[in-house]
Amino acid sequence: MNQIVQFFISTIKYFPRYHLLILEFLIFITLFIILFRPIIYSKKHFLDTEHSLNKSSLNDINQKLYESELDSEPLDQELLSIEDIEEPIKINNYTIMNGDTLITVLNQYGINSKDVANLAKQYKNLRNLKIGQYISWESDTEGNLNKFTWEISSKEIRTYKRIDRVTFTENVSNIIGTWKNIILQGYLNDSFINSAYIAGFNANEIESVMQALQWKIDFRKLHTGDQFVALFSREIINNKIEQSRLLAIRLKTRGKDYFAFKAENNKFYDQNGFGVSQSFLKYPLSKNFHVSSIFNMYRLNPITKKISPHRGVDFAVPIGTPVLSVGDGLVIFKKYDPFAGNYIAIKHGRQYITRYMHLKKIFVQVGEKIKKGDKIGISGNTGRSTGPHLHFEIWINHRAVNPLTIKINNDAFSLSKDEKIRYSSRVQYILPKLQFN
């Protein structure tokens, strides 16, 4: 092969120039035809094929092209640039449960920890999420927090929106409900609680009635057929009761009426302006004494030498000093305890309990009803004690309070002359509404 090529080259060297030009032209034409022949043939073949198609064949092809177009994605989507496609937004909702915090909730949904930390740092009130509250948030696919909504209650919604990489703005929306007065009435055919539910009272309204009349009526001893009627003011939001206030109550048992009307000071009085709450003695002792230890939740115990709550007051008195009940009530506890010695617990109404400790003797029994000022025992030095004294406690709604500063006294709630005039006008307006149908 190499010899043939060499012979060809040596031969054309001696061709005249004119012949060489013709040879070069023929080679060029040959190469052109070889390279471009497929394209030309393809176009010619297409034109010939198209020319040979009849009308029905052309319709068949158009139909197939149409069906193929329906099955495929729109071509426009393939032409969209990345900038033209909006980044998807994720919206999540959540109801706060026991143990939840802002960080623990959002982190488990993949929200950027820095965003959560920045939001919590800027608005420290977000640390106070409560069980049952509703939250929602918006984020991008990267987990960046764009918006956070906190429904504190049906009356208050707070919205936090991002304005830059680290900063959020807060918007507080307060919803004001519509207050409406409503009169509800019923009669006893079961317990008062069940009968009130049937009459349309909610749980808070039942509790408010029982607290208002707790000193006048023993609700456990009402009778079938007893009647009650109450005036409430309810705040309505989105057709739901947001809150309710008792304005007046009338309860009739054994032919006797018991009334309670709320005054301007939010205390309850009867139709003549006298307080319906119990008055307490200021001290459970009638003789002179001095306070040897005050109410102190962080007191250093003189016996154990450890910090422990002292939930009452110690009155230093000689052994045998008469101890008095500070109010009407029911004895619910009586026993000897290694620490408290001989002690008594008395329940006064629904909210109050008093306790008397380190007694030498007890003169009352469990279940016994007593009156304010009754002698219930004598002081002593029993139990763990550093000397003769009476330890006295007052509990309100299961919480110990300072007996020396708490005011459970009618005199503290008495109406002034001007207040009583306005109160009388209020009673005269409401009283006709409390009629039994």
**Taking Cα atoms as reference points, which of 246, 248, 245 lies closest to residue 270?**
248
Q: Please give the average per-residue pLDDT across 54-80, as a whole number.
A: 43
Q: Which residues contact 42 (CB under 8 A, 6 or more apart)?
A: none
* pLDDT score of 289: 84
Q: Residue 375 in contact with residue 388, Cβ under 8 Å?
A: no
* pLDDT score of 15: 60
List, in order of start, the domains of the chain with CATH numbers: 1-48 (no CATH), 89-174 (3.10.450.350), 182-279+410-437 (3.10.450.350), 290-408 (2.70.70.10)
Q: Which residue has the tokens 């049937």?
A: 198
CB atoms within 10 A of CB 331: 19
68 pLDDT band (50/70/90 cuts)?
A: very low
CB atoms within 10 A of CB 222: 17
Query: Packing angle between helix 203-212 and helix 192-199, nearest 10 degrees?
Result: 130
Q: Which residue has the tokens 């005199």?
A: 411
Query: What is d(CA 214, CA 192) in angstroms, rounded to the nearest whole number?
Result: 13
Q: Please give the average per-residue pLDDT across 62-87, as a whole number.
A: 42
Query: What is d(CA 145, CA 139) in angstroms, rounded to the nearest whole number?
Result: 5
Residue 86 per-residue DSSP state: P
Tokens of 115: 């965003």
Tokens of 136: 């929602």
3-state secondary structure at position 111: coil
77 pLDDT band (50/70/90 cuts)?
A: very low
Q: Please give the average per-residue pLDDT across 338-359, as a whole number.
A: 93
Compute CA distances 421 → 248, 272, 283, 289, 306, whole Å: 17, 11, 33, 41, 55
Q: Which residue has the higher pLDDT, 333 or 77?
A: 333
Cα distance from N-terminal residue to C-terminal residue, the chain = 129
Mean of all residue pLDDT scores within the chain:
82
Is the pLDDT score of 389 beyond 80?
Answer: yes
Is the pLDDT score of 301 beyond 90?
Answer: no
Burial group, residue 240, by CB count within 10 angstroms (0-12, 13-18, 19+): exposed
The torsion angle over the Cα atoms of residues 151, 157, 163 and 168, rounded to 10 degrees, is: -70
Query: What is d(CA 369, CA 364) in angstroms, rounded to the nearest whole number?
Result: 9
Residue 411 per-residue DSSP state: G
Query: What is d(CA 64, CA 57) in angstroms, rounded to the nearest whole number?
Result: 11
* pLDDT score of 406: 80
* pLDDT score of 88: 56
Compute CA distances 361 → 60, 325, 330, whole Å: 114, 14, 18
* pLDDT score of 396: 87
What does the pLDDT look like over 22-34, one tens digit per residue?
Answer: 766 677 677 666 6
Query: Whole-model pTM above 0.75?
Result: no
* pLDDT score of 324: 95
Q: Which residue has the higher pLDDT, 43 or 122?
A: 122
Q: Please give the average per-residue pLDDT across 366-370, as a whole number.
A: 93
Got the DSSP string for 223-272?
A: -TT-EEEEEEEEEEETTEEEEEEEEEEEEEETTEEEEEEE-TTS-EE-TT
